[in-house]
Chains A and B, each alone.
Chain A
Amino acid sequence: MKRFIFTLVIALLPASAFALSPGAQEIMTKSQAAFYYPGRDFKARMMMTLVSAGGQKRIRELTMLRKNFPGGNQKYFIYFFQPADVKDMTFMVYKYPDRNSDRWLYIPALNMVRRIAASDKRSSFVGSDFSYEDVSGRNVDEDTHTLVKEEKLGSKDCYVIKSVPKEADVEFGYKLSWIDKKTYLPLKEQYYDKRGQLLKVFTADEIKTVKGFPTITKRTMKNVQSGHSTQVIFEKADYNLGLPGNLFSERFLKQPPRKWIE
């Protein structure tokens, strides 16, 4: 009886006018919002560990600042602490929902800012197993999404969505995502290559709620074909700090304000 009422309530929700569950496209849109857009702005101190197939490790320590702008636009500011010889290096991304991002890099040894026109969004972010798109989000409209099934992952109810890229210019043939029904965060993603073989696996290893926003504070991306993997730990994470809009400029790339990056 309880279950019946529960089902009835769900069925009467406006978002699910045609089905018990929301459409795959809608799930992914919600997931993107929960994963990449929560809050007005966001700051995290990240420890990124690259682990080679042989078990060797490389560390990248950075602070990432993110601010949302109207129309789905976002700006990212990244400051590197480690490796030691790239300390003070900064990286800035203007992300647009409908076209390629703009990127700038500050090279302290040359005291030089260079704009980077990267035609490959899928290329590696600082040598890690995460691509630029994995860091800032892939446009939902670039893939065709279908709801494959609903199942429990651990104790959490998930939608399992299959996403097939519309263009063939990416390294994966399709992706399966396990989207938490409650938080809409992706708990697991499996990337399959164009031959249908498993290529990369993303896992959300720890989720904490920060200022009311469920946040993945520990995540891993493993390339199962090469054996290489990358783990990212958010040592500090905070939302709605009131990051100034003019922070995301070439001037501050060269002289990042201590206040925001520490």
Chain B
Amino acid sequence: MRKFSLVAFSVEHPKLIVVLSVLLTMLFATQFPKIRTDTNPKNMLPATSDVRVWNNKVEKTFALYKDVIVLGIRNEKGVLNPSTLASIQRITGRILGLKGVAARDVSSFETIDNVTSNGGTLDVGPLMPHAPKTAGGIDALKQQLFGNPLFIGRIISRDGRMAAIYVPLEKGANGRQIAGAIRKIVKEERNPGDEYYIAGDPVARDTFGAEMFKLMAVFAPIAGMIMFLVRYLMFRDIFLSIVLMMDAMMSIIWSMGLLIGLGFPIHIMSSMAPVFLMAIATDSMHIFNEFYFRYREKRDKKTAIIETMNAVSRPVRNTALATAAGFAVLMFMHIVPVRIFGGLVAFGTISLRLLSFSFIPAMFTFVKDRNLERIARSEDVDAGWTARFLKRLAGLGIRKPAATAAAGFLLFAVAVIGITKTNINNNLVEWFKKGSDIRTADTVINRSLGGTDTGYIVAAANEDGYMKSPEAMRYIEGLQKDLERLPVVGKTTSVADYVKRINYVLHGNDPRYYAVPPTEQMIGQYLFLFSMSAKPSDLDNVVDYPFKRANIWVQLKTWDARAMKDVISEVARYKAAHPTPMVFKPAGIAYFNLVWNNEVLWDMVKGFAFALIVVFAILAWDFRSLKWAVVGYMPLLFTIVLIYGVIGFSGKDFDMPISVLSTLSLGMAVDFAIHFVSRFRRRLAEENAAGGRPDKDLIAESLLWTAARPGKGIMRNAILFASAFSVMLFAPLTPYITVGAFIVSMMMLSSLLTMIYIPALVTLFSGWLFDGGRQ
């Protein structure tokens, strides 16, 4: 009974314990100035992951940019008017001057090259060297724009109402900062009728990362304040509310200090740790809950403390163990920030428990008896509406166990049907709320242009030079046509488009020649001519140096991870129907997002399954009985199935944030069952001092007592937990709303189900559970 001695020691030497705790906290706090942050959600996958290595290789081979910002300029009356064009020219010039922008490859009217035919002369040069001021100049530009299919849907919308500027970023540039600078530039334009939209993966990603940190800095304190307030309303004692808050704060400082001290950057995942630790800290509620009951019975502080700790130490210790284990399994996952987060919260949970057995009992000794008297008076098992409500809940399960179980089974079955309807998908842009700048910009641009999300299909042949063959060109052309039939694909671009363009121009703009030429020699010479008439990177972007590999650009109209999946399976289908020596591999940001989401998602699902097993094992070990473990497990399992059933039916995508949550919530939701079962069995053993098989009435009475007394602690815990997380429902980012809604419903459901179904199951299976007199 080491724990017992720690409690006794703390009660005997409260000042020493408090001083020690504060000193230790200060020690960990000294690490804080070394803080480093990593706001890029992409870093969830290590730089050495296959997809990042492959994407880097593709980017290098084809001189591509990882990150591109799209600026859409829209005018209801059409952008091809002198003032909008002059404005586009000014904006382009200023964007070229921004640090972090790969100026050499910015695509805009002003910087993009065009080759046109004019009698026997080829005109080569920038599409719009100067913004035209006359009607004639505008007409000429219009002709050039709409006469080149490469431009339509890319830099100009088919209806002429939107123009786009593509801003590639240098490695390591911050998309949010550059988007901010562009926003400032366009704000100064004030051209009547012009609207501006900024989109692209780096904007969404970097904004999300930054917002997430900001939200954590705002939400953690708000959640803390709410918990403080709710606790005060529950116990009407400022001092104890502060103690509980300090308990949470200390564990947060310890674990964050350790993380920073070990040199890890604070990643998005670990930035959520404080809120989780605050929520986990609510478990000490059971100590308070019991303490007031005991104090009312004994009227002696020290005895009450020690007796309280005796009664609750086991469930408190084991719930901590279950929670810590639930998070610790994350340390065996594949994704590094997830592993760090798991270790971080597991460490925090254990620190919390350590404090529960030392700091909290020590602080109890400082409370004035008069205050305790007042609070304890309100804590009565028989009186109070809470107790009556809880007894009624438990009574439902005790009186009509079969009906309750049957109703539960029915609900369970329906929920399972819901789960089969689950939609696995992820959409980075939809992490922002409807109506937010980023989401609006994306929708508007996607409506007019080829799409803001880009994927690549890399075609690879066995021999150098193959891509110059008419056969390869025609194949790629056919594949593009096929892909463009997919509803998610807005536009595709490949080396074949360039060859066709040159063929057309060399033949005096004869539409019959907008086709792949018949000989390899022609293709080779056209490509050479193309390299003389455009930026060298234009050709590099679509074909590699030895002409062994070609890169097909696929612009997608949605950020759904599913869209790229559709493209990949369509490519496979096309290849199966049209044999070719070429092989096709996906790449690009759309592919990265697909893989990233899948990896995190499946890693989490794996972690979830693993946590389910570990939690069950802990229950079995804690109760020293498989049977009781099954009973304790039921409310948890039921809660999870219900929630996922609702998600399945609602049509909400099962996405990365939800998968992350599943794993996290497991270790926390099982707490209630542990408390209930432990306290019930302890009570039963005390009441049934004679031993032997307990009779039905005794079981029912003990169940009701458990529901009313530790049950009150469970309800308080759930409410506190839920109120802390309910703050997130007001967040501007949808994953936070999801986290909030998920945890609030999980806590409320699992506490309710614990109160209803454990009594029902115990009553129903009392014969089996108390078989041979074992409890």
Binding site for B on A (CB under 8 A): 50, 52-54, 56-58, 80, 83-86, 89, 105, 107-110, 112, 114-120, 123-129, 169, 171, 193-195, 197, 199, 223, 225-226, 228
| In-complex Cβ contact of A225 among B104, B126, B521 (8 A) | B104
The interface residues of chain A lying within 8 Å CB-to-CB of B63 are 52-53, 226, 228
Given A53-B63, A54-B61, A169:B122 Cβ within 8 A: no
Shortest distance between the CB of A194 and any CB in chain B (Å): 6
Given A107-B525, A118-B124, A127:B468 Cβ within 8 A: no
Assess whether A54 is in contact with B124, with CB atoms less than 8 Å apart. no
Q: How far is the CA of A214 from the CA of B253 in the complex (A)?
A: 71
Q: How far is the CA of A107 from the CA of B105 in the complex (A)?
A: 28
Instruction: Let me know if B529 is at the binding interface, CB within 8 A.
Output: yes
Assess whether B124 is in contact with A119, with CB atoms less than 8 Å apart. yes
Q: How far is the CA of A53 from the CA of B541 in the complex (A)?
A: 12
Q: Provide 18 A-B residue pairs closer than 8 Å at the C-beta atoms, listed in order of the A residue.
A: A56-B545, A83-B528, A85-B525, A89-B528, A107-B506, A117-B118, A117-B123, A119-B124, A124-B535, A125-B532, A126-B532, A127-B528, A127-B539, A193-B103, A194-B103, A225-B170, A226-B102, A226-B105
Instruction: Let me know if B125 is at the binding interface, CB within 8 A.
Output: yes
Instruction: Let me know if B129 is at the binding interface, CB within 8 A.
Output: yes
Shortest distance between the CB of B65 and any CB in chain A (Å): 10
Shortest distance between the CB of B464 and any CB in chain A (Å): 11
Additional A-B contact list (10), CB under 8 Å, known A107-B525, A120-B124: A56-B61, A83-B528, A85-B468, A109-B522, A116-B121, A116-B533, A117-B124, A123-B125, A123-B534, A228-B536
| In-complex Cβ contact of A126 among B122, B125, B528, B544 (8 A) | B528
Give the tally of cross-chain contacts (CB within 8 A).
Answer: 129
Assess whether A127 is in contact with B532, with CB atoms less than 8 Å apart. yes
Interface set, chain B 100-126, CB cutoff 8 A to A: 102-105, 113, 118, 120-126
The interface residues of chain A lying within 8 Å CB-to-CB of B98 are 195
A197's closest neighbor in chain B, by CB? Answer: B99
Q: How far is the CA of A11 from the CA of B220 in the complex (A)?
A: 77
Q: How far is the CA of A119 from the CA of B104 in the complex (A)?
A: 18
Interface core residue of B60, B521, B523, B534 (most chain A CB under 10 Å)? B521
Q: How far is the CA of A114 from the CA of B523 in the complex (A)?
A: 17
| In-complex Cβ contact of B126 among A58, A119, A195, A197 (8 A) | A119
The interface residues of chain A lying within 8 Å CB-to-CB of B536 are 50, 124, 127-129, 228
Assess whether A119 is in contact with B129, with CB atoms less than 8 Å apart. yes
Assess whether A126 is in contact with B121, with CB atoms less than 8 Å apart. no
Q: How far is the CA of A223 from the CA of B126 in the complex (A)?
A: 20
The interface residues of chain B lying within 8 Å CB-to-CB of A194 are 96-97, 103
Shortest distance between the CB of B516 and any CB in chain A (Å): 13
Instruction: Let me know if B540 is at the binding interface, CB within 8 A.
Output: yes
Interface set, chain B 118-143, CB cutoff 8 A to A: 118, 120-126, 129
Interface core residue of B97, B113, B524, B536 (most chain A CB under 10 Å)? B536
Binding site for A on B (CB under 8 A): 60-61, 63, 96-99, 102-105, 113, 118, 120-126, 129, 170, 468, 506, 517, 519-525, 528-529, 531-537, 539-540, 544-546
The interface residues of chain B lying within 8 Å CB-to-CB of A112 are 506
The interface residues of chain B lying within 8 Å CB-to-CB of A86 are 524-525, 528
The interface residues of chain B lying within 8 Å CB-to-CB of A50 are 536, 545
| In-complex Cβ contact of B102 among A105, A108, A225 (8 A) | A225
Q: How far is the CA of A118 from the CA of B534 in the complex (A)?
A: 11
Given A127-B531, A128-B536, A83:B524 Cβ within 8 A: yes
Shortest distance between the CB of B522 and any CB in chain A (Å): 4
Shortest distance between the CB of B705 and any CB in chain A (Å): 73
| In-complex Cβ contact of B99 among A84, A110, A195 (8 A) | A195
Assess whether B124 is in contact with A52, with CB atoms less than 8 Å apart. no
Assess whether A89 is in contact with B525, with CB atoms less than 8 Å apart. yes
The interface residues of chain A lying within 8 Å CB-to-CB of B121 are 114-117
Assess whether B529 is in contact with A107, with CB atoms less than 8 Å apart. yes
Assess whether A120 is in contact with B544, with CB atoms less than 8 Å apart. no
Assess whether B113 is in contact with A120, with CB atoms less than 8 Å apart. yes
Q: How far is the CA of A58 from the CA of B545 in the complex (A)?
A: 6
Q: How far is the CA of A112 from the CA of B333 in the complex (A)?
A: 64
A102's closest neighbor in chain B, by CB? Answer: B121
The interface residues of chain A lying within 8 Å CB-to-CB of B129 are 119-120, 169
Assess whether B125 is in contact with A120, with CB atoms less than 8 Å apart. yes
Given A85-B524, A109-B521, A118-B125, A52:B118 Cβ within 8 A: no
Assess whether B60 is in contact with A114, with CB atoms less than 8 Å apart. no
Shortest distance between the CB of A72 and any CB in chain B (Å): 24
The interface residues of chain A lying within 8 Å CB-to-CB of B522 are 109-110
B468's closest neighbor in chain A, by CB? Answer: A85
Given A54-B60, A112-B506, A119:B125 Cβ within 8 A: yes
B507's closest neighbor in chain A, by CB? Answer: A110
The interface residues of chain B lying within 8 Å CB-to-CB of A119 are 123-126, 129
| In-complex Cβ contact of A115 among B122, B170, B519 (8 A) | B122
Assess whether A52 is in contact with B528, with CB atoms less than 8 Å apart. no
Shortest distance between the CB of A254 and any CB in chain B (Å): 14
| In-complex Cβ contact of B540 among A52, A80, A115, A123 (8 A) | A52
B56's closest neighbor in chain A, by CB? Answer: A54
The interface residues of chain B lying within 8 Å CB-to-CB of A116 are 121-122, 124, 532-533
The interface residues of chain A lying within 8 Å CB-to-CB of B60 are 52-54
Assess whether B122 is in contact with A114, with CB atoms less than 8 Å apart. yes
Shortest distance between the CB of B639 and any CB in chain A (Å): 52
Assess whether A56 is in contact with B120, with CB atoms less than 8 Å apart. no
A223's closest neighbor in chain B, by CB? Answer: B104
Shortest distance between the CB of A183 and any CB in chain B (Å): 31
Q: How far is the CA of A120 from the CA of B529 in the complex (A)?
A: 15
Interface core residue of B519, B524, B539 (most chain A CB under 10 Å)? B524
Shortest distance between the CB of B334 and any CB in chain A (Å): 29
| In-complex Cβ contact of A56 among B125, B524, B544 (8 A) | B544
Q: How far is the CA of A56 from the CA of B62 in the complex (A)?
A: 10
The interface residues of chain A lying within 8 Å CB-to-CB of B520 are 85
Shortest distance between the CB of A19 and any CB in chain B (Å): 35
Q: How far is the CA of A89 from the CA of B540 in the complex (A)?
A: 21
The interface residues of chain A lying within 8 Å CB-to-CB of B170 are 225
The interface residues of chain A lying within 8 Å CB-to-CB of B120 are 114-115
| In-complex Cβ contact of B545 among A52, A107, A169 (8 A) | A52
Q: How far is the CA of A190 from the CA of B528 in the complex (A)?
A: 28
Interface core residue of B102, B120, B121 (most chain A CB under 10 Å)? B121
Interface core residue of A83, A109, A129 (most chain B CB under 10 Å)? A109
A59's closest neighbor in chain B, by CB? Answer: B545
Given A83-B524, A194-B97, A124:B531 Cβ within 8 A: yes
The interface residues of chain A lying within 8 Å CB-to-CB of B519 are 109
Q: How far is the CA of A128 from the CA of B528 in the complex (A)?
A: 11
B124's closest neighbor in chain A, by CB? Answer: A118
| In-complex Cβ contact of B97 among A52, A171, A195 (8 A) | A195
Q: How far is the CA of A195 from the CA of B100 in the complex (A)?
A: 10
The interface residues of chain B lying within 8 Å CB-to-CB of A129 are 536
Shortest distance between the CB of B468 and any CB in chain A (Å): 7
Q: How far is the CA of A80 from the CA of B96 in the complex (A)?
A: 35
Q: How far is the CA of A58 from the CA of B548 in the complex (A)?
A: 13
Q: How far is the CA of A17 from the CA of B678 in the complex (A)?
A: 104
Given A56-B61, A119-B123, A226:B524 Cβ within 8 A: no
The interface residues of chain B lying within 8 Å CB-to-CB of A58 are 545
Shortest distance between the CB of A58 and any CB in chain B (Å): 5
The interface residues of chain A lying within 8 Å CB-to-CB of B118 are 117
Q: How far is the CA of A116 from the CA of B123 in the complex (A)?
A: 6
A58's closest neighbor in chain B, by CB? Answer: B545
